[in-house]
Amino acid sequence: MADRTCVIKGCGGPQEARGWCKKHYQRWQKHGDPLHQPYLHGHTKWRGPVTPEYRAWVNMRQRCLNPRSPQYDRYGGRGITVCERWNSFVPFLADVGFRPSPVHSLDRIDNDGNYEPGNIRWATRRQQTHNSRGRRRIAWRGENLLSVEWEERTGIPAARIYVRIRSGWSAERALTTPVATRRHRM
């Protein structure tokens, strides 16, 4: 009687079809090669723990390409795309590099631009907040900065600057009028 184990070296599973076990036969149906290893870059569960870079790549693609993603409306739904080169993880990692620290995440430099080389960086939450779409810039003395950036320069809290501008104050007045301090009566 002939040996009825999978012909793939080291498998030992019972033969199903074509001399392969069920696992290798299904892999052949899906990939064309029963020994196919689709994730050889080492950043997925296939070869170890999922890396933050791989997770960022998957999430980026979901936001832009999957209409069922909760974030699709803010990304793919408004025309943000992923460059064709980044359909594969390895070129993405080569272009973007490794995440510098656990507090960094993927950020587009131009919020209306696509995910492509030259428009992507690893940024902190603070950098991303400065770069968000809803931020309003205030122009004064030839500079166009966010209220949080004006806060760093003037010492006036960003929220106060924002309220002043919304109340109709000029940029000059909002950024130069000191914050009144309250005096406590005894």
Q: Are residues 107 and 58 in the same domain?
A: yes
Based on its alpha-carbon atoms, the radius of gyration of the chain, rounded to whole angstroms, reads: 27
Within a domain: residue 153? yes
Q: Are residues 124 and 144 in the same domain?
A: no
Using pLDDT thresholds of 50, 70 and 90, give the confidence band for residue 1. very low
Q: Please say which residue of 130, 149, 166 terminates a domain.
A: 130
pLDDT in tens, 41-58: 556 555 556 788 888 998
Q: What's CA 153's distance to the chain center, in Å?
A: 30
Least trusted range by pLDDT, from 6-10, 11-15, 149-153: 6-10
Based on the number of CB atoms within 10 Å of its own CB, is 30 exposed (0-12), middle (13-18) or buried (19 or more)?
exposed
10 Å Cβ neighbour count for 23? 14
Q: Are residues 3 and 53 in the same domain?
A: no
Least trusted range by pLDDT, from 7-11, 66-70, 94-98: 7-11
Average pLDDT, the chain: 82
Distances (CA, A) of 3 to 13, 16, 24, 27, 47: 11, 13, 17, 22, 31
What is the total count of domains within the chain?
3
Q: Are residues 90 and 75 in the same domain?
A: yes
Using pLDDT thresholds of 50, 70 and 90, give the confidence band for residue 176. very high
Where in the sequence is the domain holding 5, given as residue range(s)? Answer: 1-36
Query: Mean pLDDT across the stretch 89-99?
Result: 88
Within a domain: residue 186? no
User: At residue 101, does pLDDT exceed 90?
Assistant: yes
**Which residues does 112 contact at the CB level (< 8 Å), separation at least 6?**
80
Query: Mean pLDDT across the stretch 11-33?
Result: 76
